[in-house]
Structure 1
Amino acid sequence: MDERLKYAPCGYVSITHEGIVIDANHTFLDKMGYQLEDLVQKHIESIMSTANKLIFHSYFYPFINLNGLVEELFISLKDSKGQPIPYILNGRRYENAGVEIIDCVLVQMGKRIDYERELRSAKKQIEEAYWEKDQALTKLQQIHAEIERKQAELMEINKILVELSNTDKLTGLKNRRYFQEKLEEQIVQYGNTHEPFSVCIVDIDHFKKVNDTWGHQTGDDVLEKLAERLTSQSRKTDIVARYGGEEFVLIWPNQDIAESKANAEKLRQTVAESTWQTGSITVSIGIATFTEADSDATVLKKADQALYASKENCRNRVTHIMDLNQ
């Protein structure tokens, strides 16, 4: 690593395409309390919580693979004491002697923490001011106004961060993390009502060929347009999300096997009959309807198996997992 990068005013970490740490600068190591040997040859996810691993999988990897670049990813990493340190991460992929390397710049996100500290400080000042309210009435009013302003700013920051953590930047759909949360909620509701629901995985056929022939920008346009098609064909109660790459996932409440197959076929036809910049675009679809024996993992696995069957049977088709059991 260049000597200047070692002591840059921000963290700098290099990882392989598989996520293995190969280098880190002194700034990052000092902040996190690690020695270089603590991290080298270990997976970057080894210093992430489960929630942040999910963010990393649903945002970082798809964008690096599609664009070779990730910008402004909000993520927390665990220091040597296990405490979360918030960072804004920017990453870029490049090849060195035929080996793919991803360089990550990590800037600690202290603004939100500073707001919280200022808010606590302002509240403490209020408590002190009450003891001297006759002499400090003007000061107390100023502090109240400052607290309201800080609270409004903090609420806005939290709102933005929550939205960013649940939204796919390219398509504007909800992301894998949000989908997983809603799937778990749907399973809880199923336990109470036993109303059927189905999970659908939609995959663009030959999407790599689109990128290779037309370029990644056109590929991004196809992803955005498909997201619009999925949204326009969905009900308000449906959950539509980008699972990663060219895969999209949907939760269809109150839809049994027959209803989900009919809905998926309508969706498949809509995509096939749409006008695309690249000519013809088709999708393969896999469906699973939740049963009492299922969990979030098994229903997704079944939908994925059904999708694989659609791919194996010439693509541009709909397969329900129950079709494979007949």
Structure 2
Amino acid sequence: MDERLKYAPCGYVSITHEGIVADVNQTFLDLMGYSHEDLIQKHLESIMSTANKLIFHSYFYPQINLSGRVEELFISLKDKDKQSIPFILNGRRFVSDGVEVIDCVLVQMRKRIDYEQELRSAKKQIEEAYWQKDQALAKLEQIHREIEQKQAELMEMNAILVELSVTDKLTGLKNRRFFQEKLDEQVHVYGTSRKPFSLVIIDIDHFKKVNDTWGHQMGDQVLESLARILTSHARGEDVVARLGGEEFVLILPNTDGPDSKKVAERLRLAVAGFTCEIGSFTVSMGIATFAPGDTDASLLKKADEALYTSKENGRNRVTHIMDLK
């Protein structure tokens, strides 16, 4: 123990999660009349009265488990002569190298007379509570169940928030953030396994005309319709996402150039064969297959270049970057 902590102007006791004393400073030993051997590897409750043990169980442990700290706990400890010494206790849970300890700082309450009335009242209440321990334990069990329920609700809410953060509100597809994460994963998989994968960028043809002619509400319906078509025709391992505006994207794992063109062509035909309130609409697609030396950015650039070619060549078609070589 550090020399300054050993003789700090307050007591210091470090206990395990089970309450076993792991370390104690000289200030506390001198104050209480104990030797180092009297307390080390002993349970802290060994120097507590029955009433204070109940305080410790009903407040200290639940508070440490919930928030990792306890502040200004009024508690009395028995010194070497079995005299009760009042303290204000502050504690904090600390984990180092996987080992959990609870560090406690104890400040002696010198003006005890100011707390006599409160102490007598608390003692009476605690004694009554001790004789009704079955009821108290039942209440603690109820609190524990409520905490578990709240934790489960919190985890569920966190899961919902995570899902919302990666979901496009209009179409229900995954958004650009999720797509980028999955693209990074595919690049990493390629680096370790050399398994091919392809990227398809999909753009609705003449979408501005749809909005200008039918209005943005109808334009939104077209976007939602395309999302449903892509989802229903995508394979189980494919990633479907909306990049933004009228652009969508597909990540096709374990798919080389020729197979990616077949997948894209099936999707193009499915879209062209779909009818809605405005009649029908078409899409143009650009594809790139990841190759040695590529990055996520270069793959996107290649797919975008292929998409531009599809647009330039009349739209409603599929172009792979390899077709341009």
Alignment TM-score > 0.5, same fold: yes
The letter of the residue matching 1:155 is M
Give percent identity, aligned residues only: 65
Deviation at 1:182, TM superposition (A): 0.6
Deviation at 1:245, TM superposition (A): 0.6
Matches within 5 A, 1:105-144: 123-124=66-67, 135=133, 136-144=136-144
2:172 aligns with 172
The letter of the residue matching 2:252 is W
- SS across alignment from 2:292: coil
Runs of 4+ displaced beyond 6 Å: 119-122, 125-128, 131-134
2:161 aligns with 161
2:295 aligns with 295
2:19 aligns with none
The alignment of Structure 1 onto Structure 2 pairs a total of residues equal to 205
Deviation at 1:153, TM superposition (A): 1.7
Deviation at 1:121, TM superposition (A): 7.5
**Alignment gaps of 5+ in structure 1:** 1-118
1:105 aligns with none
In the superposition, the TM-score normalised over structure 2's length comes to 0.59
Task: State whether residues 310 and 319 of structure 1, in contact with CA within 8 Å, keep that contact through their aligned partners in structure 2.
Answer: yes
**Which one has a bigger Cα radius of gyration?**
2
2:195 aligns with 195
CA 124–197 in structure 1, closer or farther in 2 if over 3 Å, else same = closer
**Alignment gaps of 5+ in structure 2:** 1-61, 77-125
Matches within 5 A, 1:1-326: 123-124=66-67, 135=133, 136-325=136-325
Distance 2:155 2:196 in 1: 37
- SS across alignment from 1:255: coil
CA 254–125 in structure 1, closer or farther in 2 if over 3 Å, else same = closer
CA 318–124 in structure 1, closer or farther in 2 if over 3 Å, else same = closer
Task: State whether residues 168 and 242 of structure 1, in contact with CA within 8 Å, keep that contact through their aligned partners in structure 2.
Answer: yes
Task: State whether residues 125 and 143 of structure 1, in contact with CA within 8 Å, keep that contact through their aligned partners in structure 2.
Answer: no
CA 234–147 in structure 1, closer or farther in 2 if over 3 Å, else same = same
Question: Considering only aligned residues, what root-mean-square deviation do their CA atoms show, in Å?
Answer: 2.5
**Residues 275-295 of structure 1: CA distance to partner in whole angstroms, max 9, x if unpaired?**
132123010100000012111
Task: State whether residues 126 and 143 of structure 1, in contact with CA within 8 Å, keep that contact through their aligned partners in structure 2.
Answer: no
Deviation at 1:143, TM superposition (A): 2.7
**Residues 86-120 of structure 1: CA distance to partner in whole angstroms, max 9, x if unpaired?**
xxxxxxxxxxxxxxxxxxxxxxxxxxxxxxxxx97
Distance 1:186 1:208 in 2: 33
The letter of the residue matching 1:321 is I
- SS across alignment from 1:285: strand
In the superposition, the TM-score normalised over structure 1's length comes to 0.59
- SS across alignment from 1:274: coil
The letter of the residue matching 1:314 is G
Deviation at 1:161, TM superposition (A): 0.2
Task: State whether residues 238 and 252 of structure 2, in contact with CA within 8 Å, keep that contact through their aligned partners in structure 1.
Answer: yes
Distance 2:147 2:267 in 1: 50
Distance 1:292 1:124 in 2: 50
Deviation at 1:268, TM superposition (A): 1.1
CA 154–271 in structure 1, closer or farther in 2 if over 3 Å, else same = same
Task: State whether residues 174 and 240 of structure 2, in contact with CA within 8 Å, keep that contact through their aligned partners in structure 1.
Answer: yes
Distance 1:259 1:159 in 2: 35
Task: State whether residues 166 and 177 of structure 1, in contact with CA within 8 Å, keep that contact through their aligned partners in structure 2.
Answer: yes
Deviation at 1:126, TM superposition (A): 10
**Residues 259-279 of structure 1: CA distance to partner in whole angstroms, max 9, x if unpaired?**
111111121111112213212
The letter of the residue matching 1:191 is G
**Residues 204-232 of structure 1: CA distance to partner in whole angstroms, max 9, x if unpaired?**
00001001101111111111111111111
Distance 2:231 2:197 in 1: 18
Distance 2:151 2:190 in 1: 38
